[in-house]
């Protein structure tokens, strides 16, 4: 069962990264406004990290790679790979992180395109990270293996 869940997780990560890439390609031509500007689809190049905090690209790549590495070590030590919700949450976070890291490495910035009210502009990969982290935060005791 764990092997099937890991296969599901791998396919999900690849699919989410592909969806992220496609959306970012289409984002280059976006300039739409909904609900009197409350929600906008606008193309932005984010050279910073979370919330567009300015930081050199090499530093953001190093930080992202470190967080992915430490996160994977934590996951492999603590999570129950027989639990589909755990696999789903991990896949969301990993796909989002890898999708944004791809942009940083190959473009030198992250493509953002969703703007809601006064919130910083974000993208599909950011939503994946947020939703996966939310699941992990809320269901942590249900998705870990109890290993110490």
Looking at the domain assignment, is residue 148 inside a domain? Answer: no
The tally of CA atoms less than 13 A away on the side-chain side of residue 7 is 4
Looking at the domain assignment, is residue 25 inside a domain? Answer: yes
Number of domains observed in the structure of the chain: 1
Looking at the domain assignment, is residue 29 inside a domain? Answer: yes
pLDDT at 146: 63
Tell me: the pLDDT tens digits for 86-109?
Answer: 999 999 999 999 999 999 999 999
DSSP structural state of residue 112: E
Tell me: the pLDDT tens digits for 34-80?
Answer: 888 798 989 999 988 877 788 888 898 898 899 999 999 998 888 88
Say whether 112 is catalytic.
yes
- The whole model's pTM is what? 0.87
Name the catalytic one among 29, 31, 126, 141.
126
Name the catalytic one among 29, 31, 112, 141.
112
Looking at the domain assignment, is residue 56 inside a domain? Answer: yes
pLDDT at 147: 58
Looking at the domain assignment, is residue 55 inside a domain? Answer: yes
pLDDT at 10: 92
Residue 121 domain boundaries: 2-143
């Amino acid at each position: 069962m764990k092997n099937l869940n890991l296969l599901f997780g791998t396919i999900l990560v690849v699919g989410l990264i592909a969806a992220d890439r496609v959306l970012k390609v289409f984002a280059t031509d976006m300039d739409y406004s909904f609900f009197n500007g409350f929600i906008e689809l606008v193309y932005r190049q984010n050279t910073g990290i979370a919330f567009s905090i300015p930081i050199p690209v090499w530093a953001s790549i190093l930080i992202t790679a470190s967080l992915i590495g430490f996160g994977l070590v934590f996951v492999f030590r603590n999570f129950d790979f027989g639990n589909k919700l755990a696999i789903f949450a991990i896949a969301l976070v990993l796909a989002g992180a890898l999708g944004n890291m791809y942009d940083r490495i190959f473009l030198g910035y992250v493509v953002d395109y969703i703007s809601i009210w006064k919130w910083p502009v974000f993208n599909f990969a950011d939503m994946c990270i947020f939703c996966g982290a939310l699941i992990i935060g809320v269901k942590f005791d249900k998705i870990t293996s109890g290993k110490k």
